Amino acid sequence: MHRPEQVDPHHLSNASGIIAIDLIHLMADLISGLSQQIRKIEIELMKWHRADAVCQRLEAIPGIEFITATALAATVNDARAFRSGC
């Protein structure tokens, strides 16, 4: 993640500006950490998806990506519980 280093704290005339920069850096670090955690979750979901035939069949449906396929497979036990639209 890119940290907003373009702002020179020496050019700020008050403490609130320095605090703002510190908070921006903190938020950038948090976002970076969350991005890493999300990536780890995506890797685990992809492993499950590759090993699960139901997930793979669901992904064959246009517009269904692997995350949606794994979510559907995890939450829908029996698709026959749904009406076919008739």
Query: Domain spans of the chain?
Result: 9-77
Inter-axis angle of helices 15-51 and 66-75, nearest 10: 70
| Rounded Cα–Cα distance for residues 85 and 21 (Å) | 55
Question: pLDDT at position 19, please?
Answer: 87
- In terms of pTM, does the model score above 0.85? no
pLDDT tens for residues 17-43? 788 899 999 999 999 999 999 999 999
Token code pair at residue 46: 């992809």
Which stretches within the chain are classed as H helix? Answer: 15-51, 53-59, 66-75
pLDDT tens for residues 49-80? 999 999 999 999 999 998 999 999 988 877 77
